[in-house]
Chains A and B, each alone.
Chain A
Amino acid sequence: MKLIPTGEMTLGPFFPREFAQGANDLTTVNGRRAPGEVIEVAGRIAQLDSRPLDNVVVEIWQADNRGRYDAPDYCGWGRAATDADGVYRFRTIKPGATDGRLPHINFLLLYSGLMRHLQTVMYFELGADPVLDAVPAARRQLLVARREGATYRFDIRLRGEDETPFFDD
């Protein structure tokens, strides 16, 4: 028997505020501190007319510095929501290279007006990586975060100039 995955639909404008809060720190789980370098990952999300978007739900999935996604002292999943300035923020562990991949963080966006979720990937630098290699060369730099002190800044443009590359699987 082969079932067809349920059709996705937009998150809509009324995702409960309480659900969007409280899961944007990946440095601890159940009171245990993950090993590795603590960094902040933050950025602004904007639409075609450049307006920053508030209450975008941003989910991430990433390995830790040893390439582990899930371990007794680490859980590589987190969620944040953008504020009134369109800015999301995570406190996390800088991921290591693993399985032939460059260090990277998977991003998933949910929002009113997005009929289904969007997926993108944040990198720390360009290099050989099977997912990055799938992106047209001229657009790869758009997936690389800018370093600002202890913060890696990864802005996301849903549509328009310097539109972020998004993935389909």
Chain B
Amino acid sequence: MPAAHPAPLDRRDPATQPQGVVEGYAQTSQRWPAEPLVRRPQTRSELSGPQDLRRRLQPVRADLAGQGAKRALGQLIHLRARVVDEDGAPVAGAMVEIWHCNAAGKYIHPNDSNDAPADPNFYGAARLVAGDSGLIELRTIKPGAYPVPDSGGWWRPPHIHFSVWGRVWLSRLVTQMFFPGEPLNETDHILNAIRDAAARSRSIARLMPTERGPANALVYEYQLVVRGRGAAPQLP
């Protein structure tokens, strides 16, 4: 008896998703397919997904900022991100991977050739599991901006990378979150590859009123919307 699977997912509006080949981002014209993508029917294979990804991937680190003498340099931030589907229903148990550079704009990665300094108290990678309300919370520092090598002066604005699993294979979401009020947001080739202005604005986090947050950290809220509608109600 095969398990029931959800109805086919709605197709995405291309204006709310990035273009494949982006002027100013040279690698895109080497890597994005020249042939049109093939529209396929959705079957159980694409409309199913692992029940518990912790069987393959272990959660690691909910705090990237550190404490006391081991505090990472930079502006302390508290990030509250909610994983929801297209109905706004929380995706309980969603796994989320997060990574970002340090306050000087340096990643802990062998591919990072920028000459900004490493921070011995900062390791910018976390893997979290959302609670029943779809919420994940991360204490970290605000990442810096950095130049993209050999790009003719393209600087990445401060941003945080997210890799998110929804309920099914087709719900996979990998994206980046930006910060409000950053001038470099206006010229970033990645954020601006999304044509729809409202969609771009949804990729920018919201700074919460400072009176209500912790005394030493700025609180940012963000929403990650994964594909899918009509989640089956939980059976008793």
A77→B225 contact, CB < 8 A:
no
Which of chain B's residues has its CB closest to A158's CB?
B31
Which of chain A's residues has its CB closest to B109's CB?
A14
What residues of B have a CB within 8 angstroms of the CB of A169 in the complex? 9, 11, 39-40, 42, 46, 170
Q: Given A4-B199, A12-B161, A99-B44 in contact, is the A115-B38 Cβ separation under 8 Å?
A: no
How many angstroms between the C-alpha atoms of A130 and B30 in the bound complex?
Answer: 30
- For the residues of B in contact with A, the DSSP-based class is loop
Contact with A along B90-118 (1 / 0, CB 8 A): 00000001010100000111111000000
Selected A-B contacts with CB under 8 Å, 24 pairs:
A1-B88, A4-B202, A5-B16, A7-B16, A7-B18, A7-B199, A7-B202, A7-B203, A10-B176, A13-B112, A14-B107, A16-B97, A16-B99, A16-B125, A49-B30, A63-B45, A113-B30, A113-B31, A115-B20, A131-B41, A163-B35, A167-B39, A167-B40, A169-B9
The listed residue (A3, A63, A75) touching B88 by CB distance below 8 A is A3
Chain B interface residue count, CB cutoff 8 Å, equals 80
The listed residue (A17, A70, A99, A116) touching B43 by CB distance below 8 A is A99
Task: Assess whether B13 is interfacial by the CB under 8 Å rule.
Answer: yes
A3→B84 contact, CB < 8 A:
yes
Could you list 20 further interchain pairs (A-B, Cβ under 8 angstroms) beyond the known A4-B199, A13-B111?
A5-B226, A6-B175, A6-B226, A11-B163, A14-B109, A14-B112, A18-B60, A47-B30, A51-B30, A75-B56, A79-B56, A99-B45, A106-B46, A113-B27, A113-B30, A115-B32, A160-B34, A163-B34, A168-B38, A168-B40
What residues of B have a CB within 8 angstroms of the CB of A115 in the complex? 18-20, 22, 25, 28, 32, 190, 193
How many angstroms between the C-alpha atoms of A117 and B50 in the bound complex?
Answer: 19
What residues of A have a CB within 8 angstroms of the CB of B142 in the complex? none
Q: Which of A125-159 contact B (CB under 8 A)?
A: 130-131, 134-136, 139, 158-159
Q: Which residues of A contact B (CB under 8 A)?
A: 1-19, 23, 29-30, 47-49, 51, 53, 55, 59, 61, 63, 67, 69-70, 75-79, 98-101, 104, 106, 108, 110-118, 130-131, 134-136, 139, 158-160, 163-169
What residues of A have a CB within 8 angstroms of the CB of B127 in the complex? 19
The listed residue (B48, B86, B163) touching A3 by CB distance below 8 A is B86
Task: Assess whether B70 is interfacial by the CB under 8 Å rule.
Answer: no
The listed residue (A14, A99, A116) touching B2 by CB distance below 8 A is A99
B12→A5 contact, CB < 8 A:
yes
Nearest CB of B to A2, in Å: 6
How many angstroms between the C-alpha atoms of A110 and B175 in the bound complex?
Answer: 11
How many angstroms between the C-alpha atoms of A136 and B176 in the bound complex?
Answer: 34
How many angstroms between the C-alpha atoms of A138 and B190 in the bound complex?
Answer: 34
Q: Given A5-B227, A14-B109 in contact, is the A77-B50 Cβ separation under 8 Å?
A: yes
Q: Given A4-B202, A106-B46, A166-B33 in contact, is the A9-B176 Cβ separation under 8 Å?
A: yes
A76→B112 contact, CB < 8 A:
no
B101→A75 contact, CB < 8 A:
no
How many angstroms between the C-alpha atoms of A111 and B42 in the bound complex?
Answer: 24
What residues of B have a CB within 8 angstroms of the CB of A17 in the complex? 109-110
How many angstroms between the C-alpha atoms of A109 and B110 in the bound complex?
Answer: 21
